[in-house]
Amino acid sequence: MAPVESQPESYGVLTRAPATKVGIIFNRHAHRNIGQAQSLPDTTDAVDWTFPHTEQDLREALARFADREIDVLVVDGGDGTIRDVLSIAPAYFRDRLPKLAIIPSGKTNALALDLGIPINWSLHNALGAIAAGRTKQRSPIEVRHAAAATPHLRGFLFGAGAFVEATAIAQGVHGLGGFRGVAVGLSLAAAIAQTVFGKSDNRWRRGLNVGVALDGGIQIERKFYIILGSTLKRLPLGLRPFGRERAGLKLLGVDAPPRHILATLPALLAGSEARWLERFGYHRCTTDGIRLTFDSDFVLDGETYPGGDVILTRGESLDFVVP
């Protein structure tokens, strides 16, 4: 793309701070900022940007950004794009990732919500915030199969069991035009209906046999209706399945079949830490690492991956630019 003659206001923010080098990843399927991207000039000392079409494109862009020693990596996209970038980037930024700035142009945008980034935040807003220097820290979940030496995935919301089915429903809602809280709410309602009114042997209720090994040495094996894990402090719609707001790798496991789900769900999602939830088979913990063994798929930030012998750990803290 040839450089435009006049520089847009968003690019002007960078030229006023020439010491800051920025690399921008645009998701070609994202809903906003296409026009702003097209108005950016070609690569300069201050800014480099790309619309990767394939994983190889993304790898080449991140390698180029690392060679240029960028200060801030801007990601225009949703949670899935952020997952892809964070999963690949450490191979090129070997010491530490640069600061990250998120432009929430995906479907759910859970990370942006947790960071307090407005849903209408633009490229110009993000570049202005880079100059202001405000940041928050979050640690991703690092996922690796036990046979692997290093993590191959990094994201913020992990799920297995019924969560895989609920995610499939959410993707269908997205296809019909439902985004953000709408998709989350409709998916949750559909999952509850399938669980409550389905037969005892349906795939929602019969559960997933999982071996669990925690860092502290605790080991169990049982059927779980759902397993959730997240390092986010806040979730969409104000849901608090992990209890009170806090940092760390938080986990929820619900025994299968779920007991008294209509009675317990409001308290669970509101963050209640009443002891009776544990008695009814709703288990929570916070840990730095957990090993799960199961023969089904799992979901990380909206994408489905094959399970097996999987290790989840709390990753290194990352700096995110915020308003």
- DSSP annotation string for 43-109: P-SSEEEE---SHHHHHHHHHHHHHTT-SEEEEEE-HHHHHHHHHHGGGTS-S---EEEEEE-SSS-
Looking at residue 176, what is its pLDDT? 42
> How many domains, the chain?
2
The residue-averaged pLDDT of 226-237 equals: 93
The residue-averaged pLDDT of 109-120 equals: 94
Per-residue pLDDT band for 181 (boundaries 50, 70, 90) equals low
Q: Out of 9-13, 148-152, 183-187, 190-194, which region has the weakest mean confidence (pLDDT)? A: 9-13
The CATH number linked to 160 is 2.60.200.40
Q: Which of 155-159, 216-220, 258-262 has the highest mean pLDDT?
A: 155-159
Residue 42 has pLDDT above 70, yes or no: no
Shared domain check, 223 and 195: yes
The residue-averaged pLDDT of 22-40 equals: 71
Per-residue pLDDT band for 11 (boundaries 50, 70, 90) equals very low
Range of the domain at 195: 143-319
Confirm whether 153 is domain-assigned.
Answer: yes
Confirm whether 3 is domain-assigned.
Answer: no
Shared domain check, 112 and 214: no
Greater confidence, 106 or 71? 71
Q: Give SS3 for 204.
A: coil
Shared domain check, 115 and 156: no
Q: Dmax of the chain from CA atoms?
A: 67
Shared domain check, 152 and 115: no
Looking at residue 189, what is its pLDDT? 66
The residue-averaged pLDDT of 43-65 equals: 89
- pLDDT tens track for 266-306: 999 999 999 999 999 999 999 999 999 999 999 999 899 99
Looking at residue 254, what is its pLDDT? 94
- Beta-carbon contacts of 134 under 8 Å, excluding residues fewer than 6 positions away, are 321, 322, 323
Shared domain check, 186 and 66: no
Confirm whether 170 is domain-assigned.
Answer: yes
Per-residue pLDDT band for 15 (boundaries 50, 70, 90) equals very low
Shared domain check, 30 and 171: no
Q: d(Cα 181, Cα 257) in Å, to the nearest integer?
A: 27
Structure-token pair, residue 232: 């986010």
Shared domain check, 93 and 227: no
Residue 86 has pLDDT above 90, yes or no: yes
Confirm whether 172 is domain-assigned.
Answer: yes
User: Cis peptide before 306, with omega less than 30 degrees from 0?
Assistant: no
Q: Which of 87, 107, 133 is the last residue of a domain?
A: 133
Confirm whether 185 is domain-assigned.
Answer: yes
What are the angstrom distances between the C-alpha of 131 and each of 13, 104, 228, 262?
8, 19, 36, 48
CB-CB neighbours of 206 under 10 Å:
16
CB-CB neighbours of 49 under 10 Å:
20
The CATH number linked to 67 is 3.40.50.10330
Q: At what angle do helices 55-67 and 79-88 cross, to 10 degrees?
A: 60
Q: Which of 133, 160, 190 is the last residue of a domain?
A: 133
Q: Are 253 and 224 in contact (CB under 8 A)?
A: yes
Per-residue pLDDT band for 65 (boundaries 50, 70, 90) equals very high
Greater confidence, 217 or 85? 85
The residue-averaged pLDDT of 307-316 equals: 96
Looking at residue 167, what is its pLDDT? 82
Looking at residue 102, what is its pLDDT? 96
Residue 25: beta bridge partners?
50, 75
Greater confidence, 101 or 236? 101
Structure-token pair, residue 82: 């952020």
Looking at residue 95, what is its pLDDT? 86
Confirm whether 49 is domain-assigned.
Answer: yes
Phi/psi for 138 (5° steps) reads -140, 150
The pTM (predicted TM-score) of the whole model is 0.87
Confirm whether 2 is domain-assigned.
Answer: no
Q: d(Cα 9, Cα 15) in Å, to the nearest integer?
A: 10
Q: Give SS3 for 251.
A: strand
Shared domain check, 193 and 241: yes
Looking at residue 5, what is its pLDDT? 35
Shared domain check, 95 and 237: no
Q: d(Cα 126, Cα 13) in Å, to the nearest integer?
A: 10
Shared domain check, 181 and 71: no
Exposed/middle/buried for 144, CB within 10 Å: 0-12, 13-18, 19+?
Answer: middle
Q: Are 320 and 137 in contact (CB under 8 A)?
A: yes
Confirm whether 126 is domain-assigned.
Answer: yes
Q: d(Cα 319, Cα 63) in Å, to the nearest integer?
A: 20
Greater confidence, 177 or 101? 101
Shared domain check, 127 and 64: yes
Q: Out of 114-123, 163-172, 189-198, 235-244, which region has the weakest mean confidence (pLDDT)? A: 189-198
Q: Which of 76, 99, 133 is the last residue of a domain?
A: 133
What is the DSSP annotation of 143-158?
EEETT-SS--EEESEE
Looking at residue 301, what is its pLDDT? 93
Shared domain check, 192 and 127: no
Structure-token pair, residue 286: 């916070």
